[in-house]
Amino acid sequence: MRLKGRVSLVTGGERGIGQSIARRFAEEGSDVAIFDMEETGSWRELERLGSRILFSRVDVSDFHAVCEAVSNVIGHFGQLDILVNNAGVTRDTLLLRMKEEDWDRVLAVNLKGAFNMAKAVVREMVRKEYGRVINISSVVGIAGNAGQCNYAASKAGLIGFTKSLAKELAQKGITVNAIAPGFIETRMTQGLKESIRAKFLEHIPMRKLGSPDDVANAALFLASAEARYVTGQVIRVDGGLAI
């Protein structure tokens, strides 16, 4: 029970990677708050693990909504120790076809959303001189990918945000790290044609896709006491894709 007595907040926690992280943290004893735009009901299953769970419908790109929701979380649990910025969207297309709103929405959720969340949460962490901030980036933010200029820019920006915030908060007992997943078996990748999946696999040295649990296990390490001296890092969970 490595997170016993801690309270975690996971954005985009109702499905995919976020859902796996929320479940893993609950299994390790953390109470968990989940922010998401859609409610699938998966958060209710976490209550069976014995942790207290709080779901809120929140658009992380809306600063005022985020501040209000975070205040409710702290009021409900009495504390907030771990933030996982996982919420993200894609609007993939080539730059020549990309609309301004496609660019703006991806940056607003993926990058500004992380700013909004950190801005709302970090003051509580500084007050206690303890905290963990984990940003879910992507190998696309490291290597780029055709047809994803907006997504790659948001995820690369998240890496710069991680390193800068880590330097700001290091002396306050707060670590800030990022995880860069590769191709993970989620609802999005499950819809790919077999020919496209095969092409992806050719570029992965391990010749297989990862699972959301692989990312959740990395997040658990960064959230735990074992990672107390790890900050400003980007951990790739990609089967060797970005080597």
99 in a labelled binding site: no
DSSP assignment of 131-153: EEEEEE--THHHH--TT-HHHHH
Residue boundaries of the structural domains of the chain: 7-237
CA distance 161 to 28: 28
As a whole number, the mean pLDDT across the chain is: 95
| pLDDT at residue 187 greater than cutoff 90 | no
Residue 151 is among the residues annotated as catalytic for this protein: yes
| Whole-number pLDDT of residue 186 | 84
DSSP H or E stretch at residue 63:
helix 63-77
pLDDT digits (tens, 9 = 90+) for 190-233: 766 787 778 889 999 999 999 999 999 999 999 999 999 999 99
Please compute the mean of the pLDDT values over residues 68-78 and round it to a whole number: 98
Burial of 20-47, coded b for 16+ CB within 10 Å and e otherwise, reads bbbbbbbbbebbbbbbbeeeeebbeebe
DSSP assignment of 75-125: HHHS---EEEE---------GGG--HHHHHHHHIIIIIHHHHHHHHHHHHH
| Whole-number pLDDT of residue 191 | 64
Crossing angle of the two packed helices 100-107 and 149-169, in degrees rounded to 10: 30
229 in a labelled binding site: no
Q: What top-level class would CATH report for the domain 7-237?
A: alpha beta
85 in Cβ contact with 118 (< 8 Å) = yes
| Whole-number pLDDT of residue 193 | 72
pLDDT digits (tens, 9 = 90+) for 79-109: 999 999 999 999 999 999 999 999 999 999 9
142 in Cβ contact with 180 (< 8 Å) = yes
| Whole-number pLDDT of residue 196 | 72
Please compute the mean of the pLDDT values over residues 120-149 and round it to a whole number: 96
| Whole-number pLDDT of residue 199 | 81
Q: Is the model more confident about 234 or about 187?
A: 234
Crossing angle of the two packed helices 113-128 and 149-169, in degrees rounded to 10: 10
14 in a labelled binding site: yes
Q: Helix (H, G, I), strand (E, B), or coil: what is residue 11?
A: strand
pLDDT digits (tens, 9 = 90+) for 26-66: 999 999 999 999 998 889 999 999 999 999 999 999 999 99
> Residues 43, 151, 161, 183: which is the catalytic one?
151
152 in a labelled binding site: yes
| Whole-number pLDDT of residue 192 | 65
| Whole-number pLDDT of residue 94 | 97
| Whole-number pLDDT of residue 188 | 65
| pLDDT at residue 243 greater than cutoff 90 | no
Crossing angle of the two packed helices 63-77 and 113-128, in degrees rounded to 10: 30
Quick one: what percent of the chain has pLDDT higher than 70? 99
184 in a labelled binding site: yes
173 in a labelled binding site: no
Nearest Cα neighbor of 135 from 1, 52, 12 is 12
210 in a labelled binding site: no
124 in Cβ contact with 169 (< 8 Å) = no
